[in-house]
Amino acid sequence: MTKDTENKQLLHLVFGGELEDIDSTTFRDLSKLDIVGIYPDYKSAHAAWKGKAQATVDNAQMRYFVVHMHRLLDPDSAH
């Protein structure tokens, strides 16, 4: 891995909310979305996602997601 690759920010957004139905990704109330944060790499985003997902395991309608923001910012990037 090159130094540029090691230092490149691969931003990830972690957010979640209560879904209308467990078989969809339509949120019940957009004003109640939980924006957990933006993280500089997948490893830290996954840790945040896992913590939120485990904390809300008793609510089957609650889902958290990791969005690879770096792919949206640079669609030509393969990372």
The domain that holds 7 is classified in CATH as 3.30.70.2400
In a domain, 67, yes or no: yes
pTM over 0.85: no
How many other CB atoms sit within 10 Å of the CB of residue 13? 17
In a domain, 57, yes or no: yes
In a domain, 48, yes or no: yes
In a domain, 78, yes or no: no
More confident residue, 66 or 3: 66
> pLDDT tens digits, residue range 20-66?
999 999 999 999 999 999 999 999 999 999 999 999 999 999 999 99
Q: Rounded to 5 degrees, what are φ and ψ at 58?
A: -75, -15
Structural domain range at position 35? 3-73
The secondary element (H helix, E strand) that includes residue 46 is helix 42-55
Strands, sheet with 62-68, edge to edge from the N-terminal-most edge strand:
34-39, 12-18, 62-68
How many folded domains does the chain comprise? 1
In a domain, 27, yes or no: yes
User: Given pLDDT bands bounded at 50, 70 and 90, which one contains residue 1?
Assistant: very low
